[in-house]
Amino acid sequence: MTTVDLPLLPLGRGIDRASERGVECPGDLPPASDPDLVARALAAKEALGERLFVLGHHYQRDEVIQFADVTGDSFKLAREAAARPDAEYVVFCGVHFMAESADILTGPGQQVILPDLAAGCSMADMANLVKVNKCWEELKTVLDPDAQVTPVTYINSAADLKAFCGNHGGIVCTSSNAKAVLEWSFARREKVLFFPDQHLGRNTAHMRMGIPLDQMVTWDFMKPMGGLTAEQIRGAKMILWKGFCSVHQMFHVNHIAKFRERTPNGYVISHPENELAVCEKSDFVGSTEYILRTVRSSQPGAHWLVGTELNLVNRLADEMKPKGVTVEFMSPMVCMCSTMFRTDPQHLAWVLENLVEGKTVNRIRVPEEIAAPSRAALDLMLEVVD
Ligand code: 13P
Ligand code: SF4
């Protein structure tokens, strides 16, 4: 497949199925003002019964998460999608790359649906096949990447990048198995090219594996040769793509410093998509599932500062309050994942009612020539557990 290097499209407009960019939802949605949207969607869900399986990522809003048969982080949701061969329809309340992974991991008779096609991921958009192929070709001018470099893509990436990894002896990782995946990768080749999130790569390699920062370089995908010299590339163990999450970049060490001043006995927990300085100042670092598990296991009186998306943190704060545990959001700014937020009762009612009528809207289908190598890299991901 040819991938064209397009400028970013405004969310919800235009069509670019080869990436995480915004695309239009076809057809007529019910009016957002309909007060019965939740009831309509619940009735449609009930009518579909066992034929339907709904997955919900922890960043989804409350009105949506109530529909999920299973909630989880990216790793758990990918595993759950693969483990439900009897569900005819898998509705993914998450973002595009998650639904693509679910389509790749489910059987040919199953249909994966993303309620709003504009639910992409801005970090995933920071890498694409054109740029990664260009990087690989440029690396060939200084070393032999197929012998020396394992490509590792964070699951937050388009399916063709997972296929790139599958085709080049690489693997997919998630925030919950990144260390084990890096160990797997270094056992095969001396270097890793890690995309698109520099922070997950750097935090995992440095904080959990002790790889010195001077053995890591950042590949600036806007510059020839990533803005690096041949010597820098040859000397690096980790080549980190210069991508980041627009939500997690809002958390800063000064938020942690102020919390520590006010709450000397409090704990700080962060997602590994935060920058290294934030993770180093945190007491715990892990995936969304890990964050929930850790905070839920704390004793009454515990006070937490949490550096991840707002919907998760607000819900956790409400859950823990009656147990005497205080949960605070790390940033004074309202930072939500705006693309996760696109899934709403309006889109859910629309996709579910269409399914009841025998029509599938917003199906996510990865062409088999991309799905096959991508599946190889995703299957490896599911096997390699931290
Ligand atoms: P998790 O896999 O930890 O849920 O993270 C997904 C994500 O996109 C975080 O921004
Ligand atoms: Fe992507 Fe960041 Fe949203 Fe996660 S929180 S889906 S990485 S934009």
At 16 the pLDDT is 54
- Mind listing the pLDDT tens digit for each residue in 289-319? 999 999 999 999 999 999 999 999 999 999 9
- Mean pLDDT over 29-43 rounds to 95
Of 67, 60, 62, 71, nearest to 45 by C-alpha is 67
Q: Which atom of ligand 1 is nearest to the CA of 121?
A: 8
156 Cβ below 6 A of ligand 1: yes
Of 60, 152, 55, nearest to 105 by C-alpha is 55
The separation between CA 291 and the C-alpha centre of its own chain, rounded to angstroms, equals 15
Band the pLDDT of 13: cuts 50, 70, 90.
Answer: very low
Same CATH topology for 124-241 and 248-329: the answer is yes
- C-alpha of residue 287 to centroid of ligand 1, in Å: 6
The ligand whose atoms approach the alpha carbon of 57 most closely is 1
The ligand whose atoms approach the alpha carbon of 288 most closely is 1
At 23 the pLDDT is 63
245 Cβ below 6 A of ligand 1: yes
Domain ranges of the chain: 124-241, 248-329
71 Cβ below 6 A of ligand 1: no
Q: Which DSSP string corresponds to 20-33?
A: SS--PPPSPPPPTT
Q: Which atom of ligand 1 is nearest to the CA of 309?
A: 10
Amino acid at 378: L
At 2 the pLDDT is 38
Give residue ranges with CB within 6 A of ligand 2: 95, 121-123, 156, 245-247, 273, 309, 337, 339-340
Phi, psi for residue 278 in degrees, rounded to 5 = -65, -45
Cα–Cα distance, 321 to 274 (Å, whole number):
26
- Structure pTM? 0.94
Residue to substitute in 247, 249, 330, 342 for testing ligand 2 pocket (most ligand atoms within 8 angstroms of CB): 247
Among 1.10.3470, 1.10.287, 3.40.50, 3.90.380, name the CATH number for the domain at 124-241: 3.40.50
287 Cβ below 6 A of ligand 1: yes
Q: Does residue 12 carry a pLDDT above 80?
A: no
Q: Which atom of ligand 2 is nearest to the CA of 97?
A: 6
May I ask the CATH class of domain 248-329? Answer: alpha beta
- C-alpha of residue 288 to centroid of ligand 1, in Å: 6
